[in-house]
Structure 1
């Protein structure tokens, strides 16, 4: 199993990123909380991962630190919650916010996440309450190396439509196309034209969760 990757950040198209590790490109699906903390393309970075092996695919999920990965692993143990939904939950809510929702039995906030209905929210609260107590906070998070030992290489910087990329990411997280488009258009009215996809997604998620 692959639990940790350290390499050069080659591409990032939320919620996917590609890390060049010794010439091998690993495609990783990451939570948006991780994406918000990613450095510039071409920078060396290290992330914690969780690998899911299926009959038709081998999938890697990436996280900002071991605590977020631990919560992800507890989430997928919950009845009815798979890796996709677990990643959506951690993208729409920080670990701290999710823990608060569970501790305070805040169903109203949980059901605002795509794919989380009332029954799922109730299961999360019942099944996660005891599990979260056993998790330890680990301060060491996503690392960026200032002295890269990798050979110099120009990053691949594709031409990207930030608004469209933000919409695509929201749809990948489980939001309906109409919801994603409306949320992106709303936040873009107040953002600078050169706003990044990550910033658009962050504000769009915040807006939809707070409604």
Structure 2
């Protein structure tokens, strides 16, 4: 099984696919459209983390610039009914951080834009992945003040790309405008904080 490819970018002529030459062998790799912008300079050396799909009549390679994108791609496929093509379609809609924020906030609107995903499928995907996205912080030893629930929410927000001070402020402000947030679950507190951050961004 191929886990990573590093070589010369030979072609980007096929939409959603690149050709990487490694040791004289060309590998066709399917990539998110956003990744193509990063890898657009033909002739340059590129490195991609690979997901290998083996079928009876095909061996398909899916490539991602970062391990985070590959891990999220695999998470998407853990949902019933989501295969590699659909998962790649989801990654074509927006960057990983934006998709994670939407799922953590319980927002399925972005996912409905993907061909082959209806409203019910998008909502099911959000329900199945919401908790997993919330707690994949990968952050340890952060000096987070407040309750353990506050710490979990702040760590989750930091994992989604927000600074610690932004996360603390959002949690505080969300609590002042959302009645009952103090007794809410971690997911509800996170959703309220994300809603506040989204509102503040567009204010």
TM-score between the two structures when normalised by the length of structure 1? 0.62
Q: CA RMSD in A?
A: 1.7
2-side partners of 1:135 and 1:20: how far apart? Answer: 34
CA 1:134–1:27 in structure 2 vs 1: closer, same or farther (change >3 Å)?
A: farther
By relative contact order (CA 8 Å, sep 6+), the higher-ranking structure is 1
Residue 49 of structure 1 corresponds to 50
Residues 107-132 of structure 1: CA deviation (Å, up to 9, x unaligned): 22221222221111111111111222
Residues 20-61 of structure 1: CA deviation (Å, up to 9, x unaligned): 000010110001121110141111111111001111111100
Residues 160-204 of structure 1: CA deviation (Å, up to 9, x unaligned): xxxxxxxxxxxxxxxxxxxxxxxxxxxxxxxxxxxxxxxxxxxxx
TM-score between the two structures when normalised by the length of structure 2? 0.64
User: Post-superposition, which runs of at least 4 consecutive aligned residues in structure 1 deviate over 3 A?
Assistant: 133-138
Residue 80 of structure 1 corresponds to 81
Q: Which runs of 5+ in 1 are unaligned?
A: 139-211
- Between Structure 1 and Structure 2, whose CA radius of gyration is higher? 2
Provide the secondary structure at the position in 2 that maps to 1:36: helix
Bigger proportion of residues as helix: 2
Residue 63 of structure 2 corresponds to 62
CA 1:61–1:93 in structure 2 vs 1: closer, same or farther (change >3 Å)?
A: same
